[in-house]
Chains A and B, each alone.
Chain A
């Protein structure tokens, strides 16, 4: 079940001419959980469906499972396990019959089939639901049945298309943890599609961030979070604060202050740049309130939110727009007051200033 999947030079253009995916290469190692992350319409579901065999790449694209070329193979033959956003459980069958379906189709003898179904149901903690009809189940229960059904046939890869989107927040977090544990335990290759950044970071061994049919960055959650390689990824994973600055001879100048050991990365040329106007992306921990003598900048607090664990300040006067700064929950800061901040240079992501967001 830990199949290596390789996509080479795959692109997708639909019949009406829309370009869903630009040509790309992707290798998914056996046993790895890879997350396709991006806003709706970015092409992540298209990639999933190509791996499944529900869509075919444009001419020249090759998809292989453990070295076998499956590009022209239809989904019935590929032995993938698919979990849909709306679960797609068969309403005319019970839970047990749903889970047994793939085994039945493959001709597994009934004794072995029953044993496998029982094992699946137990593993997913739904053995008491075996004879229930689908419309009697809750959302979380349905999701578990869908997983059991997909895994029962021992697929080469597990494909999950936003499986948790239809559930409420608490259930989502709980099921996410269960799915994570399940994937680790089974050691199965998994491709998971989501638009939720937190989900991606929690589940993925690697994350593929996508934008408008193109891959923006591939990396581990830590890499994506700490070192976004272009403004889109930076913005998507939470670095929504912005400041402007200048690179001069390899040193970052923000106003009158100079910072060494900060690199500006040009995603277009994939190189570090030494000169030119730059934009700084950072999260709420990029700036910290401090005393006047340590401070780099002074801004005015527009709003204060008490979040329990921390205090979130909206501060104007530092960047082109208001920035979000987090500080200790016990700090006493009020709206309307001035606040002095220092820059935490290691938390900055620096890109060349482009005319418009990519």
Chain B
């Protein structure tokens, strides 16, 4: 491959974009562990800010994690069977329903939150509990779970598997939990990672729906940015990064594994 000026200018642009994305991340991570951010690294590293953030916001962080887990459970219970029905019995009604299901992703979170507030704002017990936020999260993440699982289900020949199991005497539920679901595991796993990541990072919806008692991590972040010192905001952001990073890496690894598997199948046929 010839490396000429065209190559290097494109590489330059790519590196600039990369720096644009990465530098603030690194900066805020560093600021979160620097003793005096105005003096810079020379003032030394400390975990003091991180501990302070924990003191102030532990509840928000834990709430976010809890909601993410709950969101996962709900989307699994609702989404996996839904994906099955959508793939196994496609019809016009199903497509309409799928369209409705995906609408919350196309519509801005603000509008969704507004709708929920108008409808259920009066139900005080529900409105002021974390369940209210959970509702919003589920609405937003369910389509991703369904899509992810449906993609894997569509790729495998479910009809053949089910007929095979049925011919051996297995009833529906046995087939569903013993054959269909295990085979859909890659899609379920990818969907699960997606749901958890989205839930932890959800802001637009949550900001509208939250109360002082039900603050999530991103809501706390907005607070910290507005009212706290730079170090606190940075340390809090750092905690967010640390939470998100393993999830992102896991998603990427899963995607790569899927790509390699399909590539192997393709090349097996290309012997000529």
What is A's interface to B at a CB cutoff of 8 Å? 40, 165, 195
Contact = CB atoms under 8 A, between A and B. Distances in A.
Contacts of B272: 40, 165, 195
B262 interface: no
Closest 4 CB pairs of A and B: A40-B272, A40-B271, A165-B272, A195-B272
Contacts, number: 4
A15 B98 CA distance: 49
The DSSP consensus for interface residues of chain A is loop
4 contacts: A40-B271, A40-B272, A165-B272, A195-B272
B4 to A, nearest CB: 12
Contacts of A165: 272
| Size class of the B contact interface (CB-based, 8 Å) | under 10
A195 B272 CA distance: 9
Interface string B254-272: 0000000000000000011
Interface of B: 271-272
Nearest to B270: A40
Nearest to A195: B272
Contacts of A195: 272
Contacts of B271: 40
A75 B271 CA distance: 28
A40 B272 CA distance: 6
A195 B271 CA distance: 13
A208 to B, nearest CB: 20
B271 to A, nearest CB: 7
Contacts of A40: 271-272
B2 to A, nearest CB: 10
B6 to A, nearest CB: 14
Nearest to A165: B272
A165 B271 CA distance: 13
A67 B272 CA distance: 35
A260 to B, nearest CB: 44
B242 to A, nearest CB: 39
A40 B270 CA distance: 11
B269 to A, nearest CB: 13
A165 B272 CA distance: 10
A61 to B, nearest CB: 17
A83 B272 CA distance: 18
A237 B272 CA distance: 18
A168 B272 CA distance: 15
A13 B272 CA distance: 21
A236 to B, nearest CB: 16
A40 B271 CA distance: 8
